[in-house]
Amino acid sequence: MAIAVEQPAVAPARTTRARLASVPGRLVAYLQAAPLALILGFFLLAPIVMIVVVSFWDYDFARLYPDFILTNYVDTLGSWVTWRTYLNTLKYAVIVWALTLFIGFWVAYFLAFHVRSTTMQTVLFLVCTVPFLTSNIIRMISWIPVLGRNGLVNAALLKTGVVSAPVEWLLYSDFAVVLAMVHLYTLFMVTPIFNTLMRIDRSLIEAARDAGANAWQVLWNVVLPLAKPGMAIGTIFVVTLVMADFITVQVMSGGQSASVALMMRNQMSLLQYPAAAANAVVLLVLLMVAGILRVVDIRKEL
Amino acid sequence: MRRERRPASFWILAAFFALFVLFLYGPLSAIMILSFQGPDGGLTFPLNGVSLHWFRNLTEQQAVGDFGGSFRRSFTLGLMVMAATVVVSLLAGLAFRRRFVGATPLFYLTVASLVVPSIIISLGIGVMFQQIGIRPSWYGSAFGAHLTWTLPFGVLIMFAVFNRFSPSYEEAARDLGASPWQTFRHVLLPMIAPMLVGVGLFGFTLSYDEFARSLMTAGTYNTLPLEIYAMTTNVTTPVLYALGTVTTLFSFLVISLTLAVIVWLGRRRARA
C-alpha cells in the first residue's frame, strides 16, 4: 500500500529531546520496536513470502511438491470462471464503496457538525461503534428473519398489499450480499471521515459564511475537499475488506454468487494450496496497484 | 441566552442518522427476540409462544461440536491477544517517538497488516506451519494470526495518542529528578491509561469475533466463531439465535465494563 509517510511523527524539540536520541536512547527504541517487528515479521511477512513461494509449487491430493512451475497461474488466469469471479467481486466492491461512502459521509457530517455537545458526540459515535465489536457472523445471520421468505419485510409488504407473493430476491441474492456488506463495513468509512471532519478548523467555515457562501457552497467548497483524506482511508478499508470477503458472499448469497476469496476458500478446502496461493498473489498485486493510486498520509491524519 | 434554532438540514440528517442506527441494531434485536421462541417455533416471526427452551438447548451437548469448550478457548485466546496487543502497541508507540533506522518500513508493515486480506494471512500461516512441521493450534498459530489484525489498531491508536502528547510533562518530571522508570510509571502511564484500556478492548473483541484468520490456523479445536459458522450450515432451529444472543450480550458486557473502567480512570485522574 503506498502511503506516503514523513519521517518523524513527533517533532524532536530542544536539547532534552536531542539527548534522548543519543546512542543508548536509540538502542531503547530498537528494543521497544522489536516485539512488533518480530510478530509482524513471523506472522505477516513470512506467510506472504511462503504464499508466493508455494504458488509455484506442484501438488496432488495428498501433499505439496517444491518446484517452479507456472501451472497454477496459467490455470487461474486462463479460466474464464476466474475472470468472471474477479469481475463479480469488483462489482461488489464498487457498489459497496459508493453506498458506504454516501452513508458514511452523512453520518460523520451529522456527528461532527450538527451534534453540539462533546458528550453527545462521544455517545452517538459509540452507538455506531459497538456493533463493530460484535460477531460479524451473528450480524449476518440476523438478516435471515428480516429478509427471508417469511421474514419481516415480506410480511409487511404482503400485509400492505404492495406485493401479492413474497419477494424472493431479498435473501440469498446479490442484493442481500451488498446489504450485509454495507451493514458490516460502513463503520470503516464513518470513523476516518469523522476523524478528518473533527480536525477542520471551524473558523474556515465561518470565514466562508462571512464571505457570502451559502450552506451548500460551504459544504461543497470547504468541507468536502478537507474531508478527502478521511474518505481515502475509508476507501482503502472498504475496498480491501470487500475484495477479500468470502463469508458474507457465501452466507448471504446462499452459495449462488462467487468472490475471489470464496474461490480461494474452496481451493483451500480441497487442499489445493498452490492454486489458492496463486490466487492470493494475484489478489495482493491487484490490491497493491489500487493502493498506489491512492496516496495518503495516514500518519499525519492520526 | 436563547439557543440558535436548528436548521431544516439538522432534522433531515438526524432522521438519516436514526435510520442508520435502526439499520445497525434492527436485525440484531430481531434475533434476540426470536431466541425466546417457543419449543415449536421456527427461524422467522411470528413467535410461537415464549420460552427459554433454546437457551437450555444450548447448554446440552450439540450435534455439531461443543459450545462450552469453544467459548472457553475463544475467551482465553481473547485475553492472550488483549495482553499482547496492549504491551506490544505501547512499546511500539514509545519506540516511534524516537527516530530509528527502519521506523518507516515498520510503519508500512503495520499498515499493510491492516489491509492484507485475512484469508491470505490464514492461508499463509497455515501452509507455513504445515511445511515447518508445527501443528497449528489456537494458542499458537491462531494467536499470531489474530495479532496481525489487532496490533495495527493498537499501534495506530498509540500513534494518535503520542501525536497529541506534549513531552513537556516528562521533561518537567525529569527536571524534578525522576528516573526514566519513575517518569514512565507516574507521569506517562496514568495519562495514557484510558487509551490503553481502549486498545485492550479492541484486542479482546476483535480476537473474540475473528473468523477468517482462525480458519486455517486454529488447528484441531474450534474457536467460537468457527463453531457458530459450522452451526449456520447445519442447524436450522432457533438455537442458533440463542447462541447469537448469548455471545452478543457477552460482547456488550465486555464493552460496557471497559467503558466503565475508562470513565472511572478519567474521574480518578480529575480528582488527583
Distances in Å between the Cα of A225 and the Cα atoms of A191, A217, A298 are 17, 12, 17
Quick one: cell of B17? 442518522
Band (B62; pLDDT cuts 50, 70, 90): low
Q: How far is B178 from chain A (nearest CA, A)?
A: 14
DSSP state of B223: P
CB B13 within 8 A of CB A106: yes
CB B77 within 8 A of CB B146: yes
Band (A18; pLDDT cuts 50, 70, 90): very low
Band (A122; pLDDT cuts 50, 70, 90): confident
Q: Give pLDDT tens digits for A176-223.
A: 999 999 999 999 999 999 989 988 888 888 898 888 888 888 889 889
CATH of domain A80-301: 1.10.3720.10
Which residues in chain A touch residue B119, judged by CB atoms under 8 angstroms apart? Answer: 244, 246, 261, 264-265, 280
Distance in angstroms (rounded) separating the CA atoms of residues A25 and A240: 38
Which residues in chain A touch residue B31, judged by CB atoms under 8 angstroms apart? Answer: 138, 141-142, 144-145
Residue B46, pLDDT > 50, answer: yes
Q: Please tell me the CATH superfamily of domain B52-271, with its number.
A: MetI-like (1.10.3720.10)
A10 versus A178: the higher-pLDDT residue is: A178
| Contact (CB<8Å) A261/B107 | no
**DSSP string covering chain B, please?**
-PPPPPPHHHHHHHHHHHHHHHHHHHHHHHHHHHTTB-TT--SSSSP-SB-SHHHHHHHSPPSSS-HHHHHHHHHHHHHHHHHHHHHHHHHHHHHTTS--TTHHHHHHHHHHHHHS-HHHHHHHHHHHHHHHTPPPBTTTHHHHHHHHHHHHHHHHHHHHHHHT--THHHHHHHHTT--HHHHIIIIIHHHHHHHHHHHHHHHHHHHHT--TTTTTTSBTSPPHHHHHHHHHHH--STHHHHHHHHHHHHHHHHHHHHHHHHHHHHHHHHH-
When CB atoms are compared, the residue of A10, A148, A246 closest to B119 is A246
| Contact (CB<8Å) B155/A183 | no
Enclosing H/E stretch for A178: helix A174-198
A81 versus A104: the higher-pLDDT residue is: A104
Q: How far is A71 from chain B (nearest CA, A)?
A: 19
Q: What are the boundaries of each domain within chain B?
A: 52-271
pTM attached to this predicted model: 0.84
Residue B251, pLDDT > 70, answer: yes
User: Can you tell me whether residue A151 is helix, strand or coil?
Assistant: coil
Least confident of A13-22, A218-227, B91-100: A13-22
The chain A residue lying nearest B87, using CA atoms, is A35
Q: How far is B94 from chain A (nearest CA, A)?
A: 7
When CB atoms are compared, the residue of B99, B159, B216 closest to A302 is B159
Quick one: cell of A249? 458472499
| Contact (CB<8Å) B123/A280 | yes
Which residues in chain A touch residue B22, judged by CB atoms under 8 angstroms apart? Answer: none
Q: What are the boundaries of each domain within chain A?
A: 80-301
Q: Between vectors from CA A236 to CA A231 and to CA A241, what angle results, nearest 5°?
A: 125
